[in-house]
């Protein structure tokens, strides 16, 4: 079985759908990854495209839900497989699916505000700008200095 993780960089093309399956959250969405190439005249033109359904389970599903939407640039890491099924007319069909290990925004094409999940404990003292001074570590999200 093919167990090597594959990375796909593209755009979310459907709004993610969150469902509960048994005791786990399940979320799925479609991604399009399009290439571009230079032609003989030096102009850019569309190349090949890959469309796949991304399936997220458990913590990955919880992390994506309410964060990524249709049109967002993403990087998805996971395992690709072919999903075969019969359509309503009884015709055999197949799709390329990915079981996601990790999903995140493509920071080369967007800016994000990071909201780190932290355990509910007392604030951790850290060394402040004055050297030995203690400052409180807060749960406030910080804006990353990344521009698209």
pTM reported for the whole predicted model: 0.71
pLDDT > 90: percent of the chain: 63
Structural domain includes residue 27: yes
Domain count, the chain: 1
SS (H, E, C) the chain: CCCCCEEEEEEECCCCEEEEECCEEEEEEEEEEEEEEECCCCCEEEEEEEEEEEEEEHHHHHHHCCCCCCCCEEEEEEEEEEEEEECCCCCEEEEEEEEEEEEEECCCCCCCEECCCCCCCCCCEEECCCCCCEEECCCCCEECCCCC
* Residues spanned by the domain of 51: 6-107
**Cα dist from 25 to 74, 83, 117, 141, whole Å:** 20, 20, 18, 25
pLDDT tens track for 18-62: 999 999 999 999 999 999 888 899 998 988 999 999 999 999 999
Structural domain includes residue 148: no
Structural domain includes residue 129: no
Burial class (CB in 10 A: 0-12, 13-18, 19+), 44: exposed
Structural domain includes residue 58: yes
* Segment 104-108 mean pLDDT: 93
Structural domain includes residue 1: no
Structural domain includes residue 26: yes
Q: The domain that contains 53 carries what CATH number? A: 2.40.50.140
* Segment 3-18 mean pLDDT: 94
Structural domain includes residue 10: yes
Structural domain includes residue 49: yes
pLDDT tens track for 93-105: 998 899 999 999 9
Looking at every residue in the chain, the average pLDDT score rounds to 84
């Amino acid at each position: 079985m093919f167990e090597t993780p594959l990375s796909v960089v593209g755009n979310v093309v459907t709004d993610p759908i969150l469902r509960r399956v048994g005791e786990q959250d399940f979320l799925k969405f479609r991604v399009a990854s399009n290439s571009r190439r230079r032609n003989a005249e030096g102009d850019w033109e569309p190349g090949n495209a890959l469309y796949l359904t991304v399936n997220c389970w458990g913590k990955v599903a919880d992390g994506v839900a309410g964060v990524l939407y249709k049109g967002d640039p993403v990087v998805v890491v996971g395992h690709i497989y072919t999903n075969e099924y019969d359509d309503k007319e009884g015709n055999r069909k197949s799709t390329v699916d990915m079981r996601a290990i990790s999903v995140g925004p493509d920071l080369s094409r967007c800016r994000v505000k990071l909201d780190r999940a932290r355990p509910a404990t007392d604030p951790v003292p850290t060394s402040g700008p004055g050297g030995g001074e203690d400052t409180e570590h807060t749960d406030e999200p910080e804006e990353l200095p990344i521009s698209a």
